[in-house]
Amino acid sequence: MANRGAYAVGGVAVALVLIWLLPLWAALLIIVGVPAGGYLLLDPAQRRRLRRVGRKELRR
């Protein structure tokens, strides 16, 4: 399995465990908040690059 596929399967598994263990609002807050926080930690140049390139070009 490719790295992206493994990350996707892992993300889905973590999301299901969070939804099972926590109340729905707390699980959704974590599932949405972690990627949003990661995006906000990037500098402006990295955010511009991330918006500019397509998903398939991110691996370069």
Which pair of structure tokens corresponds to residue 37?
A: 């926080």
Q: Is the pLDDT of residue 60 over 60?
A: no
Q: Is the pLDDT of residue 56 over 90?
A: no
Q: Is the pLDDT of residue 3 over 80?
A: no
Which pair of structure tokens corresponds to residue 16?
A: 């299901």
Contacting residues for 39 by C-beta, under 8 A, at least 6 apart: 47, 50
**Is 0.75 surpassed by the pTM of this model?**
no
Query: Is residue 43 within 8 Å of residue 56, measured between CB atoms?
Result: no
pLDDT digits (tens, 9 = 90+) for 5-37: 888 899 899 989 988 999 988 888 888 998 899
Mean pLDDT across 33-60:
82
Considering only CA atoms, which of 34, 33, 30 is closest in space to residue 18? 30
CA-to-CA distance for 54 and 24, rounded, in angstroms? 32
